[in-house]
Structure 1
Amino acid sequence: MKKFFGFGTGKGHSSPAFRTELMNGLGARFEKKEEVNESPRRYNVRVKDLKEIHRAAVMGNILKMRRLLMLGKDVNKRDKKKRTPLHLACTIGHADMVDFLVERKCQLNLYDGDCRTPLMKAVQCQEEACVTILLEHGANPHLTDNFGNTALHYAVAGDNTSIVEKLILYHANIEARNK
């Protein structure tokens, strides 16, 4: 009966609370080949569909990334969903890859297709080491996504006080309002 009337299909249901929507509904999953990691905040990535530079970032393969950059690949190359290698490394939590990319002067504040920066994705996925690296190298905590959420909104929604403290130390706007 539920499916017949549209219940349980996800259509027409009322919007969830802010925290649930922010942490679950706006995130994504990570797929490696045909396997799916059910973490709702990660990107939905099919490794076999990625370009070489993005694949190296997802796998955390610094040697391969170094070789690709020496061959002239763009450190800010975007995939079909406008994600850079930095976005992917921040989402997966490869702090060593994030550090490597930042040292190679990648752009820290580029938006992906969901209008989120690498800092927002690192905060949303609660990858504290990546957040620290990005903030130390000048990532802007004031940028907003399509809903007006800043990195601080994501940190508060994730109940991660240490990331909240870091963002405040780097002058995140505590009075920023979202939509």
Structure 2
Amino acid sequence: MKFFGSIKKKVQLSSSPSFDRSESSSIIKGAGSSSSILTPPNAPGYCIRCKDLGKLHKAASVGDLERVQHHLQYKKHDLDKRDKEHRTPLHLACANGYPDVVSLLVARKCKLNIQDSENRSPLIKAVQCQQEECATILLENKAETNLMDINKNTALHYAACGRNVSLVNKLIEHKANIEAQNKDGLTPLLLAVTENNPEMVATLLKKGADVNASDKLQRTALMLAVGGKPIGIVSLLLQHDVDLSRQDIYGLTAEEYATCSGYSMLVC
């Protein structure tokens, strides 16, 4: 029992992915002041300060289609201009959910795959902020689906951490790599397991995700499930060709993970 107790502490280390949730739930103060911040309180995405933006970025960030059109009429070269965080007007329109502005910028042939200071493309920002309509426009115009941010997360990683199955399906239909690994070695399936999201796990498995994929500690989806909150997800995983002999870097199998967590894993 002492052995399992010490191992349990080890396997719980580094269990959370390299995944920045702060941008999706940041509390933004000072909204409503023209000299302060353009985004409303608790808005997902970027913290946008008016003083940091040029006219086109400012208009795109608030969805002012008329001003975007007016500005581009006289300064076409600003289409892909970056602010000090390397964000283009397209980044800001996608993050804040303005599909009409996104459509206009795309129609004017803006670059779709420019990455910001955290290596996030407009598609990654649209998915991170759950702006499906904006993401769909980008996908239909052949935006790259497999670009990685600074933590090696792709758009599909962010989608797998959400609840929007439709968005996941669209990304996979547009050739998103279902086995992409972030810097912790987590695939979208492994992230969905850590988020305790049975619907997303079922969707990814149906789309062909490898049930035996493992992270940098060699933990499989089943190990992560029984080591956390296994309700519903374990039975889903066991319906697929799970390799129960797999071991993590400590030599533990999924059954030993279950024992460490106080669960009994029944395998038919």
TM-score range, shorter chain: 0.7 to 0.9
Please report the TM-score for the alignment, with normalisation by the length of structure 1: 0.83
- The residue number in structure 2 matching 1:77 is 81
For 1:69, give the aligned amino acid.
Answer: L
Deviates more, 1:154-163 or 1:94-103: 154-163
- The residue number in structure 1 matching 2:165 is 161
Preserved contact between residue 124 and residue 155 of structure 2 (Cα < 8 Å): yes
Preserved contact between residue 126 and residue 134 of structure 2 (Cα < 8 Å): yes
For 1:51, give the aligned amino acid.
Answer: G
Preserved contact between residue 23 and residue 45 of structure 2 (Cα < 8 Å): no
Structure 1, gaps ≥5 residues long: 1-13
Deviates more, 1:135-144 or 1:24-33: 24-33
- The residue number in structure 2 matching 1:43 is 46
Helix, strand or coil at the partner of 1:37: coil
Q: 1:66 offset after TM fit, Å?
A: 1.1
Alpha-carbon spacing, 1:23–1:161, altered in 2? closer, same or farther (3 Å): farther
Q: 1:15 offset after TM fit, Å?
A: 6.7
Query: Do residues 17 (structure 1) and 21 (structure 2) align?
Result: no
CA distance in 2, matches of 1:28, 1:118: 18
CA distance in 1, matches of 2:14, 2:181: 19
- The residue number in structure 1 matching 2:200 is none
CA distance in 2, matches of 1:159, 1:112: 25
Preserved contact between residue 22 and residue 157 of structure 1 (Cα < 8 Å): no
CA distance in 1, matches of 2:25, 2:46: 4
Ranked by relative contact order (alpha carbons within 8 Å, sequence separation 6 or more), the top structure is 1
Please report the TM-score for the alignment, with normalisation by the length of structure 2: 0.56
- The residue number in structure 1 matching 2:127 is 123
Alpha-carbon spacing, 1:159–1:16, altered in 2? closer, same or farther (3 Å): farther
Give the length in aligned residue pairs: 163
Identity among equivalent pairs (%): 47
- The residue number in structure 1 matching 2:142 is 138
Query: Do residues 61 (structure 1) and 64 (structure 2) align?
Result: yes
CA distance in 1, matches of 2:87, 2:117: 7
- The residue number in structure 1 matching 2:155 is 151
Q: 1:111 offset after TM fit, Å?
A: 0.4
Preserved contact between residue 115 and residue 145 of structure 1 (Cα < 8 Å): yes
Query: Do residues 92 (structure 1) and 89 (structure 2) align?
Result: no
CA distance in 1, matches of 2:41, 2:104: 25
Structure 2, gaps ≥5 residues long: 1-12, 184-268
Alpha-carbon spacing, 1:28–1:49, altered in 2? closer, same or farther (3 Å): farther
Q: 1:26 offset after TM fit, Å?
A: 5.5
